[in-house]
Chains A and B, each alone.
Chain A
Amino acid sequence: MESVFKGLPSWMLEFPQIAGRDLRLLSRNIDQHYRAFSRAWGDSIESFFRPLLDFLLWFENLLIHTPWWIVLAVIVAIVWFASRSIKITIGTLVALVLIGMFGMWEDTMSTLSIITVCTFLSILIGMPIGIAMSRSDKLQAAINPILDVMQTMPSFVYLIPIVMLLGIGIIPGLIVVVIYAMPPIIRLTNLGIRLVDKEVLEAANAFGSSGWQKLIEVQLPLSLPTIMAGINQTIMMALAMVVVASLIGVRGLGQPVLQAITNQYFTQGVLNGMAIVAIAIIFDRTSQAYGKRLQRHREASHG
């Protein structure tokens, strides 16, 4: 091969790189600016998220310090009322009892609290963005590529800018999880609203509904199944990211897993891993069953 291309100039044989010195200069420059930015703004960003942290800590404490059997009863009750399925409810009960018996109760409560908070935040921020997107094709065209990048970017890469900005801790962890978990709820809110039956929407218009009335009375209720699918995915992504975020100091089931990896504690790793899987299944089944229940009106029951 080499002989064939021998006569070519050197820039064709080897990829023309930016000179090592220039590259170093470039990255040093960017790093410097970013550091300066983080020094200037890090604290105010941190204090902006302070109430959130307080709420998270309060909720975590509540779950950990309330007697375990009350927490257990409440969770099982929530699962029952959401799903109305004996199978899912009993499964939840068994899983939680096992988690407690194997000494993972506290970590599980930490994980549960951060998932809950992150999911609510994602919905709170993501749904309005999805609604805005559904109303404007331009906005959709602008946001979609951003979501694509967010969803394809390896989860570890998310950690870099946030950690550089805010250091290690729960708030950066929370932010990372929320950013990572948000795309599905944005996408599916947008999609759900766009798929609402045009004729029903026309009827709403014909009766003189305002934009707000259309949203509340027609668009959101009719896109609810799709939105629920988005919430379900958001929960799953949050759970995945919570484990990764244990790298930067988020408490919960991710930390023992991390420990197990670095120290080769096989049993500890497997047990905590199983607990994560159990929580994932509980969230998934419960939210899906709830979503289905919301749709009962679609079933025809003649007779």
Chain B
Amino acid sequence: MAETAIQIRHLYKIFGGNDRAMVEKVKQGLSKSDLLAEHGHVLGLKDINIDMPAGGIQVVMGLSGSGKSTLIRHLNRLIEPSAGEVIVEGEDVLKMSERQLRDFRRHKISMVFQRFALLPHKTVVDNVAYGLHVMGKSKAEQRQGASRWIERVGLAGYEDNYPAQLSGGMQQRVGLARALATDADILLMDEAFSALDPLIRTDMQSVLLDLQKELSKTIVFITHDLDEALRLGDRIAILRDGEIVQQGTGQEIVLDPADDYISSFVREVNRGRVIEAGTIMDSTQPAATANPSSEAISVPENTVLEEVARRMTEEGVDRAEVTDKSGKTVGSVDIHAVMAGMATPVLKDAIEDAGESRAS
């Protein structure tokens, strides 16, 4: 995961006839609203820089209109930038000829769409095989490749149905299978699960995580939902009005929001599912030496607090040793620290307030 699969450098996108000239003005500090009012151009993206890890899930999060779709469409050049570089696996996407770009889209990068964008006149199997068909694979190869993925996403038996005959969740499974069938290293997902009911959505997130364990693709996942971002993202970039306002792991963003805008987002988050034992452990005194008489369980350092609490309760202990990847004990947590770590800032404030009023 250390390797970088996709690099975005100083990417600008301005919608309008004279976008290149406008980039200079924006670089000199012209604001989005002034750009629109004075020049009639829309600022889509401003000075985006992201390094996306190979084999990991990079989430791009932001509210409606923040430029998420615009950003992800630059990665396979469905949209031409006004300025900047997009480098995918060492290749500059913007320098590709039409033919190279077509090959790149056929073999290296594939995409799942918010509203599925299936071909309504083709059956499930022909939809999933579409990428293979475009590559010029034989009918048998298409059928074989498609069937495998249809089965993998749990749609076996629906091969000959038309998309309109399937529920939304099933249609997006087709969309996912279609994207996976080309064997591309990179998977772009533009709010792929946003159109689905909450339950189906969680379901699809699990499907994706399961697949990812096996496939280790480089996934770029767009969402406007922080819970989804935290559940899926190895790294998260937060976009607002076309600018990146913070990037980091989910934990970094929850623990240290860059500004009020992000704070307001993370306020409601279930921290127990985000913060890991290694983050809050006391590394000065490993459990065994601190209090040899009390029993302790041992948890890996990347276990989330909710899980630590659950296991402590199950085992009836109030301490846990935290181990690193090699199994060496590197610190300890007790149940109080876990509870404090899981409390949201709102809750913390309330507890402190209560404590103060009792004291006075």
Contact = CB atoms under 8 A, between A and B. Distances in A.
Interface of A: 197, 199-200, 202-210, 213, 217-218, 221-222, 224, 297-302
B134 A300 contact: no
Nearest to A301: B165
Contacts of B110: 206-207
24 contacts: A197-B117, A199-B115, A199-B117, A200-B117, A200-B120, A202-B78, A203-B118, A205-B78, A206-B78, A207-B110, A207-B111, A207-B131, A208-B104, A208-B107, A208-B131, A208-B134, A221-B119, A221-B121, A222-B121, A224-B121, A297-B121, A297-B163, A298-B120, A298-B164
Contacts of A213: 134
A61 B104 CA distance: 56
Nearest to B105: A208
Question: Max chain B CB contacts within 10 Å: which of A200, A222, A301?
Answer: A200
Interface string B182-196: 100000100000000
A111 B167 CA distance: 49
Cβ-closest 7 pairs across A and B: A208-B105, A208-B106, A203-B117, A297-B162, A206-B111, A199-B117, A208-B102
A224 B163 CA distance: 18
Nearest to A224: B121
B103 interface: yes
Given A205-B78, A206-B78, A297 B113 contact: no
B76 interface: yes
B113 A199 contact: yes
Contact of B105 (A205, A297, A298): A205
B135 to A, nearest CB: 8
B120 A207 contact: no
Given A206-B188, A207-B178, 13 more contacts: A197-B117, A200-B119, A205-B78, A207-B106, A207-B182, A208-B102, A208-B103, A208-B106, A209-B102, A217-B133, A221-B121, A297-B163, A302-B167
A52 B270 CA distance: 76
A271 B312 CA distance: 95
B130 interface: yes
Contact of B120 (A205, A217, A297, A301): A297
A204 B111 CA distance: 10
B134 A207 contact: yes
A197 B163 CA distance: 15
B122 to A, nearest CB: 8
Nearest to B111: A206
B134 A299 contact: no
A187 B134 CA distance: 29
B130 A207 contact: yes
Contacts of A299: 164
Contacts of B103: 208
Nearest to A205: B78
Nearest to A294: B121
A235 to B, nearest CB: 24
A207 B110 CA distance: 6
A300 B78 contact: no
Contacts of A209: 102, 134
B176 to A, nearest CB: 13
A186 B176 CA distance: 37
A204 B130 CA distance: 9
A299 B188 CA distance: 30
A302 B158 CA distance: 12
Given A199-B115, A222-B120, A302-B165, A206 B134 contact: no
